[in-house]
């Protein structure tokens, strides 16, 4: 982390309102990217982002500056996205497949595959879905994924392997074509 970032975090921890607003503004994109990768829905990702940023700001005073700030924030973002995911699953909703209008040049077959992939992802166990979303869709490396999930890298590898096997099974009809 750059020295300027450390100063911004220190000022925000001390209650400097402008520093807190700037910190939230600067971290918003990363938090939203994580939430989107896990949730696959812009509205849900926005809700999770808002909650994560509020939790970040509330937790700043207790944040241990010896820890990596971005890893701490990613963990908050993952937890908020998981909370939204759980509430959505409690409501028995699957993530919406993107409407055909969002892919005007796409074929019906490509749109069908996109829907099948979204449904298959939604059916994965939570930890497998989160690991796959962060690692593959969220473009995090193994270490960052493990930190964000609060587990060992070997556990992430296991979740990724199991997720890939299940996806391969669920999408076998599409993969044969």
Domains in the chain with CATH codes: 1-93 (1.10.1740.10), 97-177 (1.10.10.10)
What is this structure's pTM?
A: 0.70
Give me the pLDDT at residue 2, please. Answer: 61
Structure token digits, residue 16? 């400097």
Close Cβ partners of 123 (under 8 Å, ≥ 6 residues apart): 166, 170
Give me the pLDDT at residue 94, please. Answer: 44
Lowest mean pLDDT segment, chosen from 50-64, 75-89, 101-115: 101-115
Confidence of residue 91 (pLDDT cuts 50, 70, 90): low
Structure token digits, residue 39? 């949730």
Q: What's the chain's average pLDDT?
A: 84
Give me the pLDDT at residue 39, please. Answer: 87
Does 89 or 85 have the greater pLDDT score?
A: 85
Residue 158: in which H helix or E strand, if any? helix 153-170
Mean pLDDT on 18-30: 95
Look at residue 155 and tell me whether its pLDDT is greater than 60: yes
| E strands, 65-144, in order | none
């Amino acid at each position: 982390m750059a020295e300027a970032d450390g100063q911004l975090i220190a000022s925000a921890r001390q209650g400097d309102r402008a520093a807190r607003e700037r910190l939230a503004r600067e971290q918003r994109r990363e938090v939203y990217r994580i939430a989107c990768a896990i949730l696959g829905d812009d509205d849900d990702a926005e809700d999770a982002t808002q909650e994560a940023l509020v939790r970040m700001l509330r937790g700043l005073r207790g944040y241990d500056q010896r820890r990596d700030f971005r890893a701490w924030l990613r963990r908050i973002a993952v937890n908020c996205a998981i909370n939204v995911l759980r509430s959505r699953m409690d409501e028995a909703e699957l993530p919406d497949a993107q409407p055909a209008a969002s892919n005007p040049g796409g074929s019906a077959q490509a749109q069908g595959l996109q829907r099948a992939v979204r449904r298959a992802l939604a059916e994965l166990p939570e930890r497998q879905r989160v690991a796959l979303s962060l690692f593959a869709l969220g473009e995090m490396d193994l270490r960052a994924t493990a930190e964000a999930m609060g587990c060992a890298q070997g556990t992430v590898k296991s979740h990724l392997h199991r997720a890939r096997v299940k996806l391969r099974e669920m999408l076998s009809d599409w993969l044969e074509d």
